[in-house]
Amino acid sequence: MEASNIYYSGFMALIVITSLVTSALAANFFDDIDITFGNQHAKILNGGQDLTLSLDQYSGSGFQSKNEYLFGRFDMQLKLVPANSAGTVTTFYLSSQGAGHDEIDFEFLGNSSGNPYTIHTNVYAQGKGNKEQQFRPWFDPTTAFHTYTIVWNSQRIIFLIDNIPIRVFNNYEASGVPYPKSQPMRVYASLWNADDWATQGGRVKTDWTKAPFTASYRNFNANANMVGPKPTASENNNQAWSTQGLDAAGRNRIRWVQTKYMIYNYCNDNARFPGGLPTECKRSKYL
């Protein structure tokens, strides 16, 4: 059997395990999030277990967590806009507020029917981003729910899909690279129109005859340190995320993803950085 197929078979078993764990820990959207824009374009369903965001020519929609967090593991299951999703952007991310904000992004850039989504990741620290990596999914993200995870601790940020690591951004403050570590962040999600840039650099526009576009969310879990009047440790007291890194199996998985499915890495974009690649690009293979 081809090595990539062996990896993939193992990943499928992990998906089942991860889905069960995430379901067991899932929060209730009524209790844990606030709708931030879109009014009736955002709907909480099934007693708070499910949520849909919709976009039409009049409005997109979005929500944020009621709580702020400083480090943790954040899981969300998403099923993305099906069929012709060109011009649309679905998001799941962490962000602080104000000038010099920190942010950790999953953004899903839609495409015309039959073409794959782009999974766009980025990290901002003290208001500065420009650390994009993009991937093609190795599955259809529109036909079933998949679990998207951000692990954020003082040493590193890990992006995972179905518990498969796709990216690591390490803390290289000692080398002068800003790292998000002191500003509490909320969880955000949104569905909005970005047809000026999202699909093939803006060449493919949103087809409003296909509206409304709808993305579905479920099984949100923040196993994280809450910040507020009464700061708390992570809700289930399982803080494995606080030192989480990549073991040998994780390094094999991220190598598989980055070799076969990465389509853009800022650390390889010499034309964008004529004065030399960013410092962190010289430090770690798995940025």
Active-site annotation holds for 235 = no
Query: Can you name the residues that pair with 170 across neighbouring β-strands?
Result: 156
- Set 103, 132, 235, 280: catalytic member: 103
Would residue 107 show up in a list of annotated catalytic residues for this protein? yes
Cβ pair 238, 223 in contact under 8 A: yes
Q: From the candidates 107, 132, 173, 235, which is the catalytic residue?
A: 107
CB of 249 within 8 A of CB of 243? no
Which residues are marked as active site? 103, 107
